[in-house]
């Protein structure tokens, strides 16, 4: 990947190809013609001098259909990023760049004399905080972000600016002002509200959709369990109960393993919906694109304020109101996917939330809502808000945007300053047309729009510029460009590319994928087909392992005798392609079956389990308390309830516990918190505080008699007398920090940190801006995840 240290002559060659006349001020160049050149050619090197000060830095890299490296390069002028200016180029193994496209700003030096701000960031922040009805201070806002840019105004005059944004919840509704402030004069040159509100779509548990149960209709969601207490916290999603406040909140806790909190405004558990659908959205991006939707952990804030009828992404977290008269709580799958995908857009194309780029921003989030429904359900209604809106109808209709009375479905109906939710109809309709074209589906269409967002769209992309990005993404993926162009032209997006038939050849039939699950009641077994095909499965052939057979899709079968039988399912599609799945099924009239544990079948990683199913695993019986597939009983305590020991199965040896603890000091008083783990339970704690004192409490507090450093030791023991010991040095003082000591714990490369956590490294203290793991504070830089606080005293 190229960085700023490797200068590219992309802009120079591109500008020479399209720039005409002798412009006396900065000029934006849209690169539409494909260019090819060698970065090392003499011609390229000579042209580089024509744009002295311009360099490009690779910000995102993917692999093109040809296998070559395809990257987005951000334009920099004298090291300052140019807002909304980047190019995309493919680099071959021979160091040739081709298919160069994007946007470049030329002759910046005609307008910007110096890139050293004469108006400081602190001064600009005071200006930004004073633009509302009341002067604010920085303690009254949060998620403050700032960046120096070169920015072109509507007259194409370049300015050195501070772009400042923050979240303000002091008014009647939250806002997220964005302001371009001249870095030399302090004048506010442009501003808009970037709070990305939405009314989403998708299934949710409320009076309109009906009540459903996770683990029945939908898969169980991942939580963190400790003893009898569970938290709505998982590897990728944490869900906070705001308890009808605008700030604060905490991760929701509940008695394991069923959360029933709490019915509000016709919703049966908004907390469950937000948490589960956050995981669905994260998994969609990970499974389809091998990428998290945003760089930080998803933070869902539920029950925000009172009677709040909206949801929003504030640049840091997702927030959901409980609704009032128009909406049930806004935690449907579509709303969650919509808000998370605003974060995806911000961290990729960074589409400005105004004008046509704002409509495109909103549309991508609506498109993501459709994709999330397709990912979970295999279908979508093409209606936005129909599952959370009280009464009938929907808020927006992707298949017919004007149906809501305000949205547009064609560029000819766009007017300057139009609400971004209504102008989103242009690309909503284009996406609908493409997804429903023969040979296409929602997943394939979403592939294209994700790629366009990652590589080709810029902060100020227009509808037409976005169309060219969609076309280029289609080429990259090898999909049919003609179908894509037809969908764009139908909504008035023209000149996106050539209908050259590329990617439009006959689609090779894909064979089916056989799969099934079963549930047994003594000798009677019910089988459930879950096979898939690119079109449809047309036939089923079951062999039950005892000579019996069936051609039903979901048969029930009674065995004559107990035992283990190899059951096979063969499925075929319309073209005659087939696939077979086999599984061993154990049935019993009540006695022990080989391969079971006291008659209970062993857990199968490939089988789907429903509420109440019993399995055996590593010498214990487990009962399913949620639906699951592939969720190990030993790991997913929110899915399986551990029962009694059993015989006949494989019983593992005891695993020793793992000692662990943390501490916090207030002068000579230290509070210790145990974090030890064991495969069953830790039964004993032995603390040695290093000054002759000891304790057997789980998490004790100890007062030292004198300042100094003490070696604290914790030994933990399990029921089988296996033990483990951890030792840490704890430093205390009579007042203030011990000279040369850091008050924050040392940074740990394997630890997970959330926003606000403090660490120390190399004699300095840092505070995390958002969720992170494995990112060294010393390497974070000004715009990284870690904020420098001070040198250790």
**Cα–Cα separations (whole angstroms), residue 63 to 35, 86, 103, 131, 466:** 19, 18, 21, 44, 20
Q: Say which of 240, 421, 540, 685 is annotated catalytic.
A: 421
- Rounded to an integer, what distance in angstroms lies between the CA atom of residue 376 and that of residue 203? 10
- Rounded to an integer, what distance in angstroms lies between the CA atom of residue 505 and that of residue 486? 16
- Rounded to an integer, what distance in angstroms lies between the CA atom of residue 714 and that of residue 489? 69
> Do 343 and 293 contact (CB within 8 A), yes or no?
yes
Paired tokens of 741: 């000591």
Q: Say which of 309, 339, 362, 765 is annotated catalytic.
A: 339
Torsion sign, CA atoms 596, 601, 604, 606: positive
Q: Is the peptide bond before 262 cis (omega within 30 degrees of 0)?
A: yes
DSSP structure string for 134-189: S---GGG-EEEEEEEEEEE-TT--EEEEEEEEEEB-SSSS-B-EEEEEETTT--EE
Can 342 be counted among the known catalytic residues? no
- Rounded to an integer, what distance in angstroms lies between the CA atom of residue 66 and that of residue 69? 9
Paired tokens of 495: 């000149």
Q: Is the peptide bond before 257 cis (omega within 30 degrees of 0)?
A: yes
Paired tokens of 240: 């906070």
Paired tokens of 504: 């439009």
Which residue's structure tokens are 């974070």? 780
The secondary structure of residue 677, as a DSSP letter, is B
Torsion sign, CA atoms 594, 596, 601, 602: negative
> Do 47 and 9 contact (CB within 8 A), yes or no?
yes
Cβ count within 10 A of residue 465? 22
Paired tokens of 613: 């199913």
- Rounded to an integer, what distance in angstroms lies between the CA atom of residue 166 and that of residue 127? 13
Pick the closest to residue 683 from 738, 635, 722, 736 (CA basis).
Answer: 722
> Do 507 and 439 contact (CB within 8 A), yes or no?
yes
Q: In what order do the strands lie in the sheet with 669-674?
A: 661-666, 669-674, 701-703
3-state secondary structure of 431: helix
Paired tokens of 674: 């145990």
DSSP structure string for 51-92: GTTEEEEEEEEEE-TTS-EEEEEEEEETTEEEEEEEEEEEE-
3-state secondary structure of 10: helix
Pick the closest to residue 749 from 761, 741, 734 (CA basis).
Answer: 761
Pairing verdict, β 556-558 and 524-529: antiparallel
Can 104 be counted among the known catalytic residues? no
- Active site amino acids: 339, 421
């Amino acid at each position: 990947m190229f960085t700023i240290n490797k200068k590219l002559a992309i802009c120079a060659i591109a500008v020479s190809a399209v720039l005409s006349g002798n412009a006396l001020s900065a000029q934006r160049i849209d690169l539409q013609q494909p260019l090819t050149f060698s970065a090392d050619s003499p011609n390229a090197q000579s042209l580089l001098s024509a744009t002295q000060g311009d360099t490009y830095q690779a910000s995102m890299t993917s692999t093109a259909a040809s296998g070559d490296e395809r990257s987005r390069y951000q334009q920099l002028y004298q090291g300052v990023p140019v807002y909304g200016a980047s190019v995309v180029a493919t680099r071959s193994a021979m160091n040739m760049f081709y298919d160069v496209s994007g946007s470049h700003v030329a002759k910046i030096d005609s307008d910007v004399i110096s890139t050293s701000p004469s108006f400081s960031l602190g001064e600009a922040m005071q200006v930004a905080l004073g633009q509302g009805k009341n002067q604010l201070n920085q303690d009254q806002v949060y998620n403050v972000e700032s960046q120096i840019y070169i920015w072109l105004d509507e007259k194409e005059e370049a300015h050195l600016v501070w772009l400042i944004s923050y979240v303000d919840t002091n008014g009647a509704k939250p806002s997220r002002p964005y302001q371009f402030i001249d870095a030399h004069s302090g004048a506010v040159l442009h501003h808009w509200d970037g709070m990305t509100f939405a009314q989403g779509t998708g299934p949710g548990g409320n009076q309109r959709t009906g009540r459903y149960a996770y683990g029945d209709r939908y898969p169980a969601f991942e939580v963190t369990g400790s003893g009898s207490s569970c938290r709505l916290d998982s590897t990728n999603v944490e869900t906070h109960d705001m308890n009808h406040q605008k700030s604060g909140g905490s991760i929701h806790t509940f008695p394991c393993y069923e959360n029933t909190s709490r019915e509000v405004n016709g919703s049966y558990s908004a907390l469950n919906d937000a948490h589960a659908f956050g995981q669905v959205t994260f998994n969609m991006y990970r499974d389809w694109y091998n990428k998290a939707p945003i760089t930080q952990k998803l933070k869902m804030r539920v029950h925000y304020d009172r009677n709040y009828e909206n949801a929003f992404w504030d640049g840091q977290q997702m927030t959901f109101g409980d609704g009032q008269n128009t909406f049930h709580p806004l935690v449907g799958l579509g709303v969650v996917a919509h808000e998370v995908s605003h974060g995806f857009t911000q961290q990729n194309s960074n589409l400005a939330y105004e004008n046509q780029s704002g409509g495109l921003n909103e549309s991508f989030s609506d498109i993501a809502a459709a994709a999330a429904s397709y990912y979970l359900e295999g279908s979508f209604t093409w209606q936005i808000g129909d599952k959370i809106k009280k009464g009938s109808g929907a808020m927006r209709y992707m298949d017919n945007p004007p149906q809501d009375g305000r949205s547009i479905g064609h560029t000819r109906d766009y007017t300057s300053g139009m609400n971004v939710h209504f102008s989103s109809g242009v690309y909503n309709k284009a996406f609908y047309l493409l997804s429903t074209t023969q040979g296409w589906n929602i997943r394939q269409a979403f592939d294209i729009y994700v790629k366009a967002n990652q590589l080709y769209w810029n902060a100020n992309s227009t509808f037409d510029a976005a169309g060219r990005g969609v076309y280029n993404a289609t080429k990259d993926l090898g999909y049919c460009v003609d179908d894509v162009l037809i969908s764009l032209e139908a909504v008035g997006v023209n000149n996106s590319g050539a209908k050259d038939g590329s990617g439009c050849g006959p689609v090779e039939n894909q064979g089916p994928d056989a799969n099934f699950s079963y549930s047994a009641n003594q000798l009677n077994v019910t089988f459930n087909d879950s096979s898939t095909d690119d079109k449809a499965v047309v036939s089923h052939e079951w062999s039950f392992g005892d000579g019996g057979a069936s051609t039903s899709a979901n048969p029930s079968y009674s065995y004559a005798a107990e035992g283990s039988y190899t059951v096979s399912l063969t499925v075929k599609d319309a073209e005659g392609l087939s696939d077979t799945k086999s599984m061993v099924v154990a049935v019993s009239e009540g006695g022990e079956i080989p391969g079971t544990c006291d008659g209970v079948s062993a857990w199968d990683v490939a089988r789907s389990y429903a509420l109440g199913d019993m399995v055996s695993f590593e010498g214990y019986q487990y009962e399913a308390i949620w639906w699951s597939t592939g969720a190990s009983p030993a790991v997913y305590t929110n899915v399986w309830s551990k029962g009694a020991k059993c015989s006949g199965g494989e019983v593992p040896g005891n695993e020793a516990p793992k000692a662990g603890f943390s501490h916090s000091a207030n002068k000579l008083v230290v509070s210790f918190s145990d974090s030890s783990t064991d495969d069953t339970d830790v039964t004993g704690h032995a603390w040695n505080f290093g000054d002759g004192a000891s304790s057997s409490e789980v998490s004790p507090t100890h007062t030292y008699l004198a300042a100094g450093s003490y070696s604290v030791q914790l030994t933990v023991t399990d029921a089988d007398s296996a033990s483990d010991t951890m030792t840490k040095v704890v430093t205390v003082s009579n007042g203030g920090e011990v000279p040369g000591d850091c008050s924050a714990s040392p940074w740990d490369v394997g630890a997970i940190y959330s926003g606000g956590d403090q660490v120390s490294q190399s004699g300095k203290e840092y505070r995390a801006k958002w969720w992170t793991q494995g990112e060294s504070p010393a390497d974070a830089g000004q715009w990284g995840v870690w904020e420098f606080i001070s040198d250790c005293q």
